Amino acid sequence: MVEDLISKKELLKVTGISYGQLYRWKRKNLIPEEWFIKKSTFTGQETFFPKARIMDRIKKIKSMKGDVSLDDLADMFSPNLMERVLESGKLVEQNIVSKTTMDFYTQKRGEVEKFAFEKMLYLYILDKMFESGKINFEEGEIILKLLEGEYTKFKGNGGELLFLRKLGISSCCLVSSVCDIYFENSMKIIEKVNLSDLIEELKIKIA
């Protein structure tokens, strides 16, 4: 599972931003350090980026920076979890998660009056996956247990959630942002969720 990369030179050309802007955004933590990937080429060492993520990030920065300060954007894009707590009713009222997902969580874990950001993220991930129609409630419980048991090890640094099926049997795993994973042919990746992207989306929704 290899992510497409784009060179710094091509990135600047395609997006129309300057070298200075790129590194200013890096200093402001709008673009994660881990996205600056050094690789040896026939011309020497060059910098590459995960293409889909960097293009999406720059599009968001350019669309929002006229209305929001760079510092506020940095807060939204920062992988460090915000110290925000919301009541369960507010999550549904503000369309952050659906009532169906909240009812699922309540059935599995009991009534929860308030949600810290990390648990909001778990609900938000499940809501996205239920909405896609690619998982059922039983599989949602598998994903929830994985997130509750293992996500804290990522310390808010993103990564990816992979949902897999082999011969009708479902499984899932969390992987770090910078890694390649290869499966044998009978293992199918049903859904791949970039956690950094969902963290950003969730922060914007609750801001």
**Contacts for 139 with CB less than 8 Å, ≥ 6 apart:** 163, 170
What integer pLDDT is reported at residue 207 of this predicted model? 66
Mean pLDDT of 126-133: 94
**Domain region containing 129:** 85-206
Domain count, the chain: 2
* 59 and 138 assigned to the same domain: no
Both 35 and 109 in one domain: the answer is no
Of 135, 55, 119, 136, which is closest to residue 85 (Cα–Cα)? 119
Confirm whether 100 is domain-assigned: yes
User: Looking at the domain assignment, is residue 124 inside a domain?
Assistant: yes
- pLDDT tens-digit map of 156-198: 666 889 999 998 899 999 987 656 778 888 899 899 888 878 8
Per the model's pLDDT, the better-predicted residue between 186 and 103 turns out to be: 103
Q: Are residues 101 and 49 in the same domain?
A: no
Tell me, yes or no, whether 80 lies in a domain.
Answer: no
State whether 123 and 202 are in the same domain: yes
Residue 129: predicted pLDDT: 95
pLDDT in tens, 32-76: 888 899 988 887 889 999 888 899 889 888 887 766 777 777 776
**Is residue 76 in some structural domain?**
no
Q: Which residues of 166-176 are buried (b: 16+ CB within 10 A; e: fewer)?
A: eeeeeebebbe
- Band the pLDDT of 204: cuts 50, 70, 90: confident
| Predicted local distance difference test score (pLDDT) of residue 57 | 87
User: Do 192 and 113 fall into the same domain?
Assistant: yes
How high is the pLDDT of residue 158? 67
Q: Are 104 and 164 in the same domain?
A: yes
Contacts of 98 (CB under 8 A, 6+ apart): 92, 127, 130, 131
Q: Are residues 111 and 15 in the same domain?
A: no
Report yes or no on 64 lying in a domain. yes
Residue 56 counted as domain residue:
yes
Distance between CA atoms of 121 and 102, rounded to whole angstroms? 12
- pLDDT-derived band at 80 (thresholds 50, 70, 90) equals low
Note whether 52 and 89 are same-domain residues. Answer: no
Question: Which pLDDT belongs to residue 196?
Answer: 79
Q: 149 and 175: one domain?
A: yes
At residue 137, the pLDDT reads: 95
**% of the chain at pLDDT higher than 70:** 89
Write down the pLDDT at residue 184: 85
Pick the closest to residue 172 from 127, 138, 142 (CA basis).
142
Residue 79 pLDDT = 54
